[in-house]
Amino acid sequence: MTIQTVTDYIEQLAREHMMVRHTDESPHFVNLNDDKRNTALVQELSYPAVYFESTDFQIEASSTSVSRNYTCHLEVLVHVTDTGDYAEVERALSDSSQIITDIFVRMMHDRVGRKPEHKWLLSLSPSSPIKVLPIQNAENALYGCLAEFSVPLSGCITDSLNNFKSINNNG
């Protein structure tokens, strides 16, 4: 399981969400960790848009396991035509907060569904609050919200151990 699994899942939610409607022809999702694609994609992005980024990770170890705990950011931004129209700005903030709430509700729903491809959702803690902050970029007429959350991914032990000669060669 890798952080790309999480990215792919969030992109799929952007495809399925009725307000976002991400498609290859009309992109509404960008993976900010994909340096090759995101620069060009941001230029042609449609709104509302979902941005996903994993900024760092912590290594958590116990006597029986090692995992990476990724810090992830999920941003939902809406473009407004007039930054001075406070009703439009408020609507953009409301729409983006609804989309971000919908995404987390869906994540918790899929967590309970226990599909094998969503196994990583079981590691999310539903009891930990997710802080959502407003984003206002008046220069680009973008308004929305940012949620920061953690995604613990285990399973890195075997891959890491295989990177040592002494363990690979049994001696």
Which carries the bigger pLDDT value, residue 146 or residue 67?
Answer: 146
Rounded average pLDDT over 31-49: 75
94 phi and psi angles, rounded to 5 deg: -65, -45
- What is the pLDDT, as a whole number, of residue 65? 75
CATH classification of 3-154 is 2.40.10, yes or no? no
The pair of structure tokens assigned to 28 is 């509404």
pLDDT band at 1 (very low <50, low <70, confident <90, very high): confident
What's the pLDDT tens digit per position in 79-98? 999 999 999 999 999 999 99
Which carries the bigger pLDDT value, residue 76 or residue 34?
Answer: 76
- Contact by Cβ (8 Å): 42, 52: no
- Lowest-confidence pick of 66-70, 74-78, 106-110, 152-156: 152-156
What Å distances lie between residue 69 and 56, 90, 135, 151, CA to CA?
8, 34, 25, 6
- Please tell me the distance from the alpha carbon of residue 76 to that of residue 18, in angstroms, as a whole number: 14
- Please tell me the distance from the alpha carbon of residue 6 to that of residue 122, in angstroms, as a whole number: 12
Contacts of 33 (CB under 8 A, 6+ apart): 3, 7, 52, 53, 54
Which carries the bigger pLDDT value, residue 38 or residue 113?
Answer: 113
The pair of structure tokens assigned to 22 is 């991400």
Mean pLDDT score across all residues of the chain? 86
The pair of structure tokens assigned to 170 is 């049994």
Task: With a cut of 90, say whether residue 46 has pLDDT above it.
Answer: yes
What's the pLDDT tens digit per position in 144-171? 999 999 988 876 555 666 777 776 555 4
pLDDT band at 101 (very low <50, low <70, confident <90, very high): very high
- Closest-CA residue to 29 (of 89, 74, 90): 74
- Closest-CA residue to 150 (of 26, 47, 6): 6
What's the pLDDT tens digit per position in 104-149? 999 999 988 777 778 888 888 777 789 999 999 999 999 999 999 9
Question: Considering the entire predicted model, what is its pTM?
Answer: 0.85
